[in-house]
């Protein structure tokens, strides 16, 4: 029977280290694509929550102040620009309905531009909640990933009554629908 000196048997051999690194690399390569999707999904949900909160606040301010409240994208936090809903979004009381926040119209709320990796498209007009909480016309905001991935498409739908709802995956196919069997349309 041979005894080894305990002072000489510490650490790992080169072969053991290479096997451990190979196993770690395989595990990381198999998890990386799912991790990327999960991060993109969380980014999309965060943007959806931010916009939904701003819409809810706009409606609340209109009801609470008993005056209409307007939401629109604005590069300079003054003039509404409907060509790019990725710009910062502002909420103000547009008393003269000129789609510009005048000096006598206070900025009620604002959020930063949309997160990277998310493209927001919306109506070619303001979203205006009246004093009773209804909107002038229904609207839909589409949130689409910059890379084509239908499982990440989301929508916020505003009804004439001013109710705000998010798209849902009604048929459990992992793709959100705006209405019955109609997927969220992203370009």
Angle formed at CA 22 by CA 19 and CA 25, multiple of 5 degrees: 150
pLDDT band for position 139 (cuts 50, 70, 90): very high
In this prediction the pTM is 0.80
Partnered with residue 109 across adjacent β-strands are: 91
Structural domains in the chain, sorted by start: 13-183 (3.55.40.10)
Residue in the structure block whose two tokens are 């198999």: 30
CA–CA separation, 11 and 78 (whole Å): 66
Question: Which tokens go with 172?
Answer: 């459990």
pLDDT score at 143: 93
For 92-131, the pLDDT digits (tens) are: 998 887 878 888 888 999 999 988 889 999 999 999 999 9
Question: Which tokens go with 29?
Answer: 């390569």
**Nearest alpha carbon to residue 48 among 171, 168, 130, 160:** 168
pLDDT score at 90: 94
Question: Which tokens go with 105?
Answer: 């119209």
């Amino acid at each position: 029977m041979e005894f080894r000196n305990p002072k000489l048997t510490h650490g790992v051999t080169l072969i053991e280290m290479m096997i451990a690194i190979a196993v770690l690399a395989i595990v990381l390569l198999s998890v990386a694509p799912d991790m990327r999707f999960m991060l993109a999904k969380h980014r999309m949900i965060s943007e959806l929550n931010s916009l939904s909160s701003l819409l809810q606040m706009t409606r609340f301010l209109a009801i609470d102040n008993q005056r209409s409240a307007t939401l629109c994208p604005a590069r300079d936090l003054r003039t509404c620009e409907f060509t790019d809903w990725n710009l910062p979004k502002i909420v103000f009381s547009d008393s003269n309905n000129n789609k510009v926040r005048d000096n006598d119209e206070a900025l009620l709320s604002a959020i930063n531009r949309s997160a990277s990796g998310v493209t927001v498209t919306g109506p070619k007009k303001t979203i205006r909640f009246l004093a009773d909480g209804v909107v002038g016309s229904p609207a839909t905001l589409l949130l689409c990933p910059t890379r084509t991935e239908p499982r990440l498409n989301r929508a916020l739908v505003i009804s004439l009554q001013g109710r705000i709802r998010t798209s849902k995956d009604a048929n459990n196919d992992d793709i959100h629908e705006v209405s019955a069997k109609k997927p969220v349309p992203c370009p």
